Chain A
Amino acid sequence: MKKVLALLLAVALMAAVLAGCAKQEEEPVEEPVKQEEPAVEPEPVVEPEPEPEPEPAEKTTIRLAGLKGPTSIGMVKLLDDAENGLTENAYEFQMAGSADEVTPLLLKGDIDVLAAPVNLASVLYNKSEGKVQLMAVNTLGVIYLVESGETVEDWDALRGKTIYATGKGSIPQYALEYLLASHGIDPAADVTIDWKSEPTEVVSLMKATDDSVVAMLPQPYVTVAQTQVEGLRVVFDLTKEWDALNIGCQLITAGLIVRADFAKDHPEALAKFLEEYRASTEFVNANVEEAAQLVEKYDIVKAAVAQKAIPYCNIVCIAGEEMMESVQGFLEILYTLNPQAVGGSLPDDAFYHLG
């Protein structure tokens, strides 16, 4: 009896604390300020009069958030430019260690755009009944099958082996299981998948033995592992393997989730953001060394690692119809593996912000 009372009190206390944390003081919502285009008139080429100062454009502030990892790499140039006042919108950014930290903020309206796994976007869309939308895909697959040995050359060689992996309950798990099944291997019966919770555990395991160890790791940990484990080789690029299946969608990891209300209220600012984000992505992919410095600056990962890892992180910016097609197909596959992974049901078209 006492215990039940204690449980209920504990839950009530927990609830009260959560409520206290979640319910922030209502901040006065910033009035959306229309950007004013400085009037540009062709000056008559006679007297070079000093041009009147163009009115400083009222910038819209977009509050961004990202998880610590490859899904935030695409935006580092954007953030750097924002700091130097070179972007058209103003950007605020916070980095979170896990989705739990930022999801409530997004839903409460304390942040506007979140870079996070696409299935999380679907879950939130379903659970919040449409309060969020997906506006772009920003990372394709980042997972790789590696081995500290030479025994695995093709998918069949995995039969009877143990694969150490991270990312249970999220896209890596589903991707691996789907790929295995597509090659005729039953993930439950024909292989043993030993799920670890941290990539560092897997690396430690590999270092601890001379035997060949097979693992699935995400970037940038593949790069880290390569520096620490001698003879580590990449067996499969799971993104490419997925493409090879030719099922009409790609292996997608993450995208940009936007608050539906924000998208409705600031369509131009958002479109501008997408442009600036795309440019940032292109910059990162083309200027890996410089980007790596920025990646370290924003505390995502060390520059040396980033430099090697960025090309393998499949950082992209896919929006519009292309995004919708690809994501729809991908979510369908996830749904067949576990409906809860997408929030219980497939999202309808309103989920996709097509700009």
Chain B
Amino acid sequence: MAKGPVQKALAILAALIVWQAAAELVGIDFLLASPLQVAARLATIWRESGFWSTVAFSMSRIVGGFMTAFILGIVLALLAGRFPLVETFLWPYVVTIRSVPVASFIIISLIWLTGRQLAVFISFLMVFPMIYANVLQGIKSADGRLLEMTALYRVPWTRRLLYVYAPNVQPYLTSACSVALGTAWKAGVAAEVIGVVDGSIGEKLYESKIYFMTADLLAWTVIIVLISVLFEKLFLFLMKKAFAGMEKL
């Protein structure tokens, strides 16, 4: 897609100029903050008290939701791969979660869940179908001939999992994770905003909106993206190492 780093840098510069121009066009600076204002705010916001606890709060919940979905997705996919009955049984749930819009889930959950539980649940809900479906696909697409070989040689299921299924699942799982991580963050923060969850990043977004602090709004947005990108890189790196480690066993 994009060419060398110089061209990319120029493109970013151009985008920033467009943004600055738009801010000036709107005219009312507290309806749309300019890049400079946002940058200035970013410099001060992380020093304010409560910044790190807010970030930690949202992170722990969203990452928690993601990890739960990750583990449960893999486990259930393994079971579904082994027992077609499980797959059939799970199918209506997976399809429902996939088709129903996030906002509906958020609104329905708001009645039954407390604010603290909401972000975990919504992140989980978004991530689970992706992980489950992809791992299941990876399992189903395992090389039949390899499986025949392991059946003949009476290879126990643990080794079969490691040698045949794991390497096949790896690309599916990796691609699912890179999408799922971003989605977990977006959906999780959206849930926090709609539920105005105490002490969360979403609450900060909501407050910046009602108190017309748009520099804050955009600064927090930048922070959310940064965290999600960093976490994604970290997680994918760890996953790669884990698979590599498995291959050395």
Chains A and B directly touch (beta carbon < 8 Å): yes
Q: Are A197 and B110 in contact (CB under 8 A)?
A: yes
Given the complex of chains A and B, what is the CA–CA distance between A169 and B221 in angstroms?
19
Which B residues are CB-close (under 8 A) to A340?
207, 211, 213
Stretch at the interface among B47-55, B82-90, B194-202: B194-202
In the complex, identify which listed stretch (B26-34, B69-77, B234-242) lies at the interface while the others stay far away: B26-34
Which chain A positions have C-beta within 8 A of B30?
127-128
A7/B225 contact (C-beta < 8 A), A15-B22, A22-B26, A127-B30 known: yes
Chain B residues lying within 8 Å of A108, measured Cβ to Cβ, are 28
Interface residues of B in 93-115 (CB under 8 A from A): 107, 110-111, 114-115
A23 at the interface (CB under 8 A from B): yes
Question: Quick one: which of B12, B19, B209, B222 contacts A15, CB cutoff 8 A?
Answer: B19
- A8 near B15: Cβ-Cβ < 8 Å: yes
Q: Check B114–A15 contact: CB distance below 8 A.
A: no
CB distance from B124 to the nearest CB of A (A): 20
Quick check: is A85 within 8 A (CB to CB) of the other chain?
no
> Does any Cβ of A come within 8 Å of B229's Cβ?
yes
Interface residues of B in 20-41 (CB under 8 A from A): 22-23, 25-28, 30-32
Verify B12–A5 contact, CB threshold 8 A: yes
Closest to A104 in B: B31
Given the interface contacts A5-B11, A127-B30, does A195 sit within 8 Å of B22 by beta carbon?
Answer: no
Q: When chains A and B are docked, how far (Å) is the Cα of A107 from the Cα of B229?
A: 37
Contact A124 B222 (CB under 8 A): no
Q: Which of A7, A19, A103, A169 contacts B196 (CB 8 A)?
A: A169
Q: Which of A199-234 contact B (CB under 8 A)?
A: 201, 204-205
Interface residue tally for chain B (C-beta within 8 Å): 38
Of listed A22, A104, A107, A170, residue having the most chain B CB within 10 A? A22
Binary contact track A118-155/B, C-beta < 8 Å → 1, others 0: 00000110011000000000000000000000000000
Contact yes or no, B209 A23, CB < 8 A: no
Contacts of B107 in A (CB 8 A): 198
A8 near B195 with CB under 8 A, answer no
Contact B196 A15, beta carbon cutoff 8 Å: no
**Contacts of A204 on B, CB cut-off 8 Å?**
111
Is A194 in the interface zone, CB < 8 Å from B? yes
Within 8 Å by CB of A123, from B2, B23, B115, B211, lies B211
Residues of B within 8 A of A11 (CB): 19, 218, 221
Supposing A8-B12, A23-B26, A169-B206 touch, asked if A15 and B18 sit within 8 A by C-beta, the answer is yes
Partner of B31, one of A22, A99, A169: A22
Interface residue SS majority, chain A? helix
Closest CB in chain B relative to A176 CB, distance in Å: 14
Contact of B8 among A1, A12, A170, A343 (CB under 8 A): A1
Collect the chain A residues with CB atoms within 8 Å of residue B28's CB: 22, 104, 107-108, 128
Contact A9 B22 (CB under 8 A): no
Bound-complex Cα distance A169 to B28 (A): 23
Give residues of chain A (5-43) contacting chain B, Cβ–Cβ below 8 Å.
5, 7-9, 11-12, 15-16, 18-19, 22-23
Q: Which residues of chain A come closer than 8 Å to B19, judged between CB atoms?
A: 8, 11-12, 15
Chain B residues, CB < 8 A from A19: 22-23, 25-26, 32
Q: How far is the CA of A138 from the CA of B110 in the complex (A)?
A: 32
Determine whether B151 belongs to the interface, using a CB cutoff of 8 Å to chain A: no
Please state if A18 and B12 are interface contacts (CB–CB under 8 Å).
no
Cross-chain contact A205 with B111 (CB below 8 angstroms): yes
- A contact residues around B212 at 8 Å (CB): 103, 123-124, 127, 343
**Could you tell me which B residues sit within 8 Å of A by CB distance?**
2, 8, 11-12, 15-16, 18-19, 22-23, 25-28, 30-32, 107, 110-111, 114-115, 194-196, 198, 206-207, 209-213, 218, 221-222, 225, 229
27 residue pairs bridging A and B, Cβ less than 8 Å apart: A3-B225, A3-B229, A7-B222, A12-B19, A12-B22, A15-B18, A15-B23, A15-B26, A18-B26, A19-B26, A19-B32, A22-B28, A22-B31, A23-B26, A23-B27, A100-B209, A103-B212, A123-B212, A128-B28, A169-B206, A169-B210, A197-B194, A198-B110, A201-B110, A204-B111, A343-B211, A343-B212
Binding site for B on A (CB under 8 A): 1-5, 7-9, 11-12, 15-16, 18-19, 22-23, 99-100, 103-104, 107-108, 123-124, 127-128, 168-170, 194-198, 201, 204-205, 340-341, 343
Q: List 10 additional A-B contacts (Cβ < 8 Å) besides A4-B12, A22-B27.
A: A5-B2, A11-B19, A12-B15, A16-B22, A19-B26, A23-B25, A195-B198, A197-B196, A198-B110, A205-B111
